[in-house]
Amino acid sequence: MPGDLVFIDRKDDIAILKGLVDKNTIVICLQPSVGAELLKIGIQYESSVNFFGVSGHKSTVIFSDEIVESIRPLLKQLCQEKFCRTFEKNWVFSFRFYLNYWISTLHVVHLSVQKFQPDRLVVLGNSVIELSVKNSHNSSFLDVIVKHYADAHKIKTYHVDGVRKFKIYQLVKIFLLRLKHYFGILVFEFILIVYPLMTRKKQPILAPEDSYNMPRLLNEVSQHIKGSIPVYLQTRRINLINTLKGMVKGKFFSFYSIPVGFNLNKKNIFQDNLDSSTKYIVNWLNNPLNNTTIYGVDLSQPLSLFINHDLTSKMKDLKGRLTSLLRVLSVVQPKYVFAQHSLGISYALGEYCMRYSIPSLLISHGSHVPHSGEVAELEWSVHAQTIINSNYPFIALQTPWASKFFKEQKNVVSCGIETGPLLFSRKSDNVGDFYKSRDSLYKRHAGRKILLHASSPRDWKSLRPWVYETIDEYIRNINDLIKAVEGNKNLYLAIRFRPLKNLSLPEFKSLLDPSICYDIYTDGSFEEYLLSSDLLISYSSTTIEESLQNHIPVLQYDPDGKYIHIPGHKLPGRRGQHASSVYYVHAQNRLLESLKWWDDNHDNAQVNNWSKHIIDIDEDMTWIDSIRLV
């Protein structure tokens, strides 16, 4: 019989459920980490898997694009001095994630209500007051979304007040963040002073940050540019001591971070333009002639709140960081610039290089493949604008797929250069190192065929629909693999896991089916695990192309049958079917048979289509000469 329907995505709300849940209560959990805790106290729930699916991914992409592309022309006023596109691209980047969050969550709520037809919806929050003032994108908006949906459909709600209390550690956290901000400014000012002293008579090769194998690449580039030194605007190095040692020895230089600075609230032309653009966009959202309603819920009010508060603040911060960036560039005067993405100040760096004819190359850390399907093509084209289709003079095309993808993009202002793989993982020339690594990594399982699973799931607040899994889908897909691998003693599943903001390693372990056919690996470089494996399994990830670069076959698995990142042979294969570099399984009930076919029939020596994925490495880096010709 119908009863209460509860949606939950925060651990802080778990305690209250003990007094609410009865046999007529349905709990829908949108965060696997919360689900792991619910199971510990005996509360059964349904995940989002059964309420999102193909239709959820598709509707999120389509409706989000309709709103974003209607708003984009209203952002032209944000052109500021040397940076004409930086603010627009970053504004859209942040806005789109927030919009996707609302659309995707509403889809889950809508389908859940349709299925269970509840008497009322339980809102876990601090009543209407909290719903009206919350505006931080870092907060959970699930209670707000549920309330909006209930009001739109005239469904009774039950508010559970006082669930979340402001904890003392939150005050401490705010204080520490402010302290870190001011300390960062002092460090930045000091580094600006010492930079000329520590890099005297050296040619600076500038990069936004030391991530995604950029240090390895710049070390190689330095061998071809006499008297050069890698310089990083920001660092992600965990070991600060090693970073300082490297700087003192003159191996590289890092500014650690680029701060926002002071006087952000000072009235200026940028502030006037930002206020004007915000006004136009909010007016557009609230115009009844424009469609901002989905699943019966008008999004104009929550989107307007987000724009007026969060996005305005983000654009002010970006303006402050660009002021600091210009100071760095005036001191460093880079001879070359290499970037692994074009987001935030990295986009501005590309615009600066384009304006002042500085040799620069954008080298995407992602995988880019042309798609014929409407939804995939649309999502990737938007994603490309902050990672490959940007305002750098030159773009590195590391694979044939990237080259084809780049040629299909619209409004391209850069020149593509086929460089071969620059940031991807590479196999060691020493074969002995490879086998030694395999034995040390997989130990007693090294003699079996190693299936390495690596994927890039997205949380609801950073969702890239269709082309990436949700976290719930990610866990479901791995459990499907565990069941299939258990049926073949010749196979061993190695799960490469990176702890996520909302999913720790212990939580992840508790959500996987128990079995001796797999283990989870978090330590060491991914490169080692990849090069010591026989097959990579993924839904969508840069690891797919990294694997192919090293002649390691790939199996793509999507039980919903909606997405294939790179075209491949569908499994299970026919008798006599040739071995391929890429395979695809489109249904859970085909997985066991498909893995058996691969185990019995795949032979790397028989694969003859590696070349379609690979541009040979240019050991002499002759492409450097091309980017000099700006």
Per-residue pLDDT of 322-341, as tens digits, reads 999 999 999 999 999 999 99
Longest dimension (CA), the chain: 79
Positive/negative CA dihedral, 31, 32, 36, 42: positive
Nearest to 24 by CA among 100, 107, 119: 119
Q: Residue 317: helix, strand or coil by DSSP?
A: helix
Residue 390 to residue 394: CA distance in whole angstroms: 9
Nearest to 208 by CA among 394, 344, 80: 344
**Residue numbers in the chain where pLDDT is lower than 70:** 1, 126-139, 162-167, 169-170, 238, 262-267, 426-436, 576, 629-630
Nearest to 49 by CA among 108, 113, 98: 108
What is the reported pLDDT for 80? Answer: 80
Residue 141: CB partners within 8 Å, gap ≥ 6?
Answer: 101, 102, 105, 134, 302
Residue 541 to residue 537: CA distance in whole angstroms: 10
Residue 447 to residue 381: CA distance in whole angstroms: 42
Residue 497 to residue 451: CA distance in whole angstroms: 14
What is the reported pLDDT for 137? Answer: 45
Type and span of the H or E element at 182: helix 168-198
Q: Is there a contact between 225 and 624 (Cβ–Cβ < 8 Å)?
A: yes
Residue owning tokens 């926002």 = 260
Residue spans per domain, the chain: 431-613
Residue 311 to residue 92: CA distance in whole angstroms: 10
- Judged on CB neighbours under 10 Å (0-12, 13-18, 19+), 434 is middle
Residue 614 to residue 610: CA distance in whole angstroms: 7
Residue 173: CB partners within 8 Å, gap ≥ 6?
Answer: none
What is the architecture of the domain spanning 431-613?
3-Layer(aba) Sandwich (3.40)
Give the up-direction half-sphere exposure of residue 391: CA atoms within 13 A in the CB hemisphere.
Answer: 23
